[in-house]
Chain A
Amino acid sequence: MKIIIYFVLLLSILYSETITPIPLHVKDVNLKKVKLGKELFFDVNLSKNNQVSCASCHIIEAGGDDNLKVPFAINGEKRTINTPTVLNSRYNFVQFWDGRAKDLQEQAAGPIDNPAEMGSDFTKLIEKLNATSYKKKFKKIYDDGISKDNITNAIAEYEKTLITPNAPFDKYLRGDINAISKDAKKGYKLFKSKGCIICHNGVNIGGNLYAKFGEFKETKSPSLGRYDVTKNELDKYYFKVPTLRNIEKTAPYLHDGRLDTLKETVKFMLNYQLAKTVTKNEINNIVEFLKSLNGEILNIEK
């Protein structure tokens, strides 16, 4: 009997709604910290050469990433990992492709003192910022003034507000059945029946588990994923499943930016991750669905 119930449940999972819309407001933030974090996010002085800010690689209007295959390096180092989007990153269960930061604050410290990215040394950076008006601004919010913890805390607080509610698909989920096109609806159906939804679910349509890159068909990858963090053979080629929100704007795709278009990517993923064949029409429909995931950038200052 239990088997039959499970059988039904198993079938129903592909048709149940496991994607939830993004909340319309952000209420769990300190607005003063957000303001300070925003200033820091866009400030090139946080970098060693005073030319790079967080926003250099996370261009908010361009999908929250840099639209490059792999990011440029200020020290000429060869980069291998595609920049993930900062948008909706608060909904990811861990940060970075390999999940090496457990939250946004931990993540924010990463690029600042990465020699290839912003190349700053926190001790020197704090000295540098203490000579500016930041000293006063920090003191107003944090008792201990400028510190690594407080810099990253403020940036993380700002990043918490970088969400994109009101995507047509979210409106559809909220009951507006005409918010997305017929093709997109078909695409959503395919997204579920083909099995994409097994990994891409939840509010961020992804970002809540690790999955192996090349699950069904082995594929080359320069990065070893989670293995780099745990050094456990079992974690080789496991990456954080990325969000599909605003996916149209965050080309090129995959962790190494190997694919330029959504169509290629959908085909690749179905093939390598799910061992499924797919027709051109199906791909078009799925892409149509993916395009309906573009949201509006929330303006917290309103």
Chain B
Amino acid sequence: MRNSDKNNINFIKKVDYVLFFLLILFAIIGTLSYQIHLINNIDIKYKKYDKKIDKLLLLNSGFNNFLLNKRISDNYDSISAKIKQFDALLNDLNEKQFDNLFNKNIKETIYSIHSNFSKKEILLERFKSNNALSIYSLNYLIDLVTHIKIEQDIEKNFLKIINNSIYDLLRLFLNQSSDVQILDEEINSIKFLNKQIKNDKLDLFNTNLMFAKKKIIYANKIKKEAFKIKMNENLELLLFQIDKKFKIVRKKEVALIYFLFIVIFIITIGAVYIYLKSLKIKKDLISLRYAVENSDDSIVITDINSNIVYTNEAFTKVTGYTREEALGKNPNILKSGKMSNDFYKEMHNHLSKGEKWVGEFINKNKNGDLYYERASITPMFTNAKLTGYLAIKLNITDYIKEQERVKFLAYSDPLTSLGNRRMMKKIILEELENIETSKKQLYVFLWI
């Protein structure tokens, strides 16, 4: 019973190693697939941000385009929609919280984009209002000029001034000339002219001219201010920072994946090497086992508590006990009782010192028959630790019996089976020896 427990423990130990190995392998493969998943996520995230920032850049260039070209033939729905879209995209970057991959630099850039956008949005709205009025005034002036030309009888020189004023205003509107002075001179001339002829339309024209000038100059100022906001640079910087950060993170993850691959590779190589080696050991063991199994000597292996863990066929032949019967039992089942306790004591003394013991036993087999055997018992050590005992025993019953017969033949008369001369000599010599030690007297009676 105890023995099977031991076996179980050994088995569990073995399983533990295999399990441990498998667990490590699973853990590594798990980490690997998680890493691959992470990298995939990083790529998706990066693409998402890249796309968003690209859109923001596009929208921003749309704003700049609007400021430059003034979208005079379009309605304001599209620019309003673009502003809303920009706002929504920007909020997406930090709606609830920043992406955990964003570092301080990236966050700062996003904050500065936010603050720049609020500035730009205000300017864009002002520009929309002013631009609408600028366009209206220009239209109104052109309209008025046609009326003035048709209805009024005005000198050609003055008409030229009026035409020039519109031309200069248009140049100002298109930002082709910043020479406001000429325009002011023209306005003054028209004012002066109007004082002379007192024409309602001309008066209206002049008022509108000044109004338009004011609006256009203001719109140009807004435009200038809006272009001072480095939104494009901000967005490019953000793109660069995110690209850099994600590349670094990705590199780290990829390096880890390579490392894990290498670990798996090494483990695999190791496993293959160990397997091949174990194959060789197994082969050796099989031959050894074959040798042991088929040995004429009976071989018994016990654990440290002297429980039999292995017997070979010769053992069964000699003792009559099958392996199944012997396993787990103490070898003292073979004790015949013919040996003194001192004998066993001496043997145990040897063994407990870790020494090999050699001697002869008179043992009893399963049927109760006595037999002689010459045995050598060796303590087995693994890594300097006692793991059990190995007994190799040779049945010498026939040899002993033969020896006794030879002895008998040598000391007796073949005809009468009585002791012969040689016998007498042996006995007398023995007795003489005894006398020397015991100082007794010896008497010999000879009858021939």
Contact = CB atoms under 8 A, between A and B. Distances in A.
The answer to whether A and B assemble together is: yes
Contact of A195 (B72, B126, B136): B136
A93 B132 contact: no
Given A102-B87, A202-B77, A238-B129, A274 B136 contact: yes
B83 A93 contact: yes
Interface stretch (B9-17, B23-31, B137-145, B236-244): B137-145
Given A13-B73, A201-B75, A195 B139 contact: yes
Contacts of A202: 75-77, 80
Contacts of A91: 77
Interface string B72-89: 111111011001100100
A78 B83 CA distance: 35
B75 A18 contact: yes
Contact of A10 (B83, B129, B138): B138
A208 interface: yes
Contacts of A12: 73
Nearest to A215: B133
A-B pairs, top 8 by smallest CB distance, nearest first, are A202-B77, A93-B80, A201-B75, A18-B75, A208-B76, A202-B75, A209-B128, A198-B136
29 contacts: A3-B174, A6-B170, A7-B142, A9-B72, A10-B170, A11-B142, A12-B73, A13-B73, A18-B74, A19-B75, A20-B75, A93-B83, A102-B84, A193-B143, A198-B132, A198-B133, A198-B135, A198-B136, A201-B75, A209-B76, A209-B128, A209-B129, A211-B132, A215-B133, A216-B211, A238-B129, A275-B140, A275-B207, A276-B140
Given A93-B84, A198-B132, A3 B170 contact: yes
B99 interface: no
A16 B71 CA distance: 12
Interface of B: 72-77, 79-80, 83-84, 87, 122, 125-126, 128-129, 132-133, 135-136, 138-140, 142-143, 167, 170-171, 173-174, 176, 204, 207-208, 211
A247 interface: no
B75 A234 contact: no
A10 B126 contact: no
Contacts of B75: 18-20, 201-202, 208
A10 B132 contact: no
Interface in A205-256: 208-212, 215-216, 230, 234, 238
A245 B170 CA distance: 33
A234 to B, nearest CB: 7
A21 B136 CA distance: 23
**Interface of chain B, helix or strand or loop or mixed?**
helix
A208 B76 CA distance: 6
A23 to B, nearest CB: 12
Interface string A178-189: 000000000000
Contacts of B171: 3
A287 interface: no
Nearest to B215: A215
Kindly name the residue among A201, A208, A238, A276 whose own CB sees the greatest number of chain B CB atoms within 10 A. A208
B132 A209 contact: yes
Interface residues of A, number: 39
A230 B122 contact: yes
Contacts of A216: 211
Given A198-B135, A210-B129, A9 B77 contact: no
A124 interface: no
Given A234-B126, A275-B208, A10 B80 contact: no
A129 B204 CA distance: 61
A204 B80 CA distance: 12
Contact of B73 (A9, A19, A93, A103): A9
Contacts of A102: 84, 87
Contacts of A81: none
A273 B171 CA distance: 25
A14 interface: yes
B76 A201 contact: yes
Given A10-B135, A93-B80, A102-B87, A210 B125 contact: yes
A215 B83 CA distance: 25
A20 B77 contact: yes
A126 interface: no
A7 B139 contact: no
Nearest to A235: B126
Interface in A263-299: 274-276
Kindly name the residue among A2, A6, A18 whose own CB sees the greatest number of chain B CB atoms within 10 A. A6
A236 to B, nearest CB: 12
Given A195-B136, A209-B132, 18 more contacts: A2-B176, A10-B72, A10-B142, A11-B139, A91-B77, A193-B143, A195-B140, A198-B136, A198-B139, A208-B79, A209-B80, A209-B125, A209-B128, A209-B129, A210-B125, A215-B133, A216-B211, A276-B140
A10 B167 CA distance: 13
A70 interface: no
A125 interface: no
B77 A13 contact: no
B83 A13 contact: no
A14 B139 CA distance: 8
A203 B208 CA distance: 29
A199 interface: yes
Contacts of B140: 195, 274-276
Contacts of A193: 143
Nearest to A230: B122
Kindly name the residue among A10, A19, A230 whose own CB sees the greatest number of chain B CB atoms within 10 A. A10
Given A7-B170, A195-B136, A212 B129 contact: yes
Nearest to A201: B75
Contacts of B73: 9, 12-13, 16, 18
A20 B278 CA distance: 84
A215 B204 CA distance: 15
Contacts of B173: 6
Contacts of B76: 93, 201-202, 208-209
Kindly name the residue among B84, B135, B136 whose own CB sees the greatest number of chain A CB atoms within 10 A. B136
Contact of B204 (A11, A204, A275): A275
A9 B125 CA distance: 23
A277 to B, nearest CB: 9
A13 B136 CA distance: 10
Contacts of A16: 73
Contacts of B135: 10, 13, 198
Nearest to B174: A6
A145 to B, nearest CB: 18
